[in-house]
Structure 1
Amino acid sequence: MDLNLRHAIMQNVANNTKEQLEDTIVDAIQQGEEKYLPGLGVFFEAIWNHSTEQQKEMMLATLEQAVKK
């Protein structure tokens, strides 16, 4: 079976509203199960690929602080 996980995840949420996307992210984080990590990774990849250099710098600064705690 040849499954493109990125494509499947993006297709699954393609028509979701901002609120639905937030619910999906919050639920995945609250569940804390590793099975949700690929989906969150695909979301982060999409955000990164659609961000400006300034937004990327802000994300990196936030991440740097978050991993230090």
Structure 2
Amino acid sequence: MGLNLRAAILHNVTDNDQGQLQDTIVDAISSGEEKMLPGLGVLFEIIWQNSSEADKKEMLETLEQGLKR
């Protein structure tokens, strides 16, 4: 029996509104639990795939600056 983690994560958040999505992200980050990382990765994948080139550049700049702290 194979587990498709990406599909399970997407199933759990597909009908969530912006508030619920924000709560999911904030909870995952604040908990600091590594088991939450795959879910954040799937959400980031969706953001990346649906972003313009300008938005991607801005995200990369933000990430680069955040890593320099």
Q: TM-score, normalization: structure 2?
A: 0.97
Paired residue total? 69
Poorly superposed stretches of 4+, deviation over 2 Å: none
Structure 2 residue ranges without an equivalent (≥5):
none
1:36 is the counterpart of 2:36: yes
SS in 1 for 2:36: helix
User: How far apart in 2 are the matches of 1:7 and 1:47?
Assistant: 16
Cα root mean square deviation, aligned: 0.5
Paired residue type of 2:31: Q
Unaligned runs of 5+ in 1: none
Identity of aligned residues (%): 62
TM-score, normalised with respect to structure 1: 0.97
Is 1:2 paired with 2:8? Answer: no
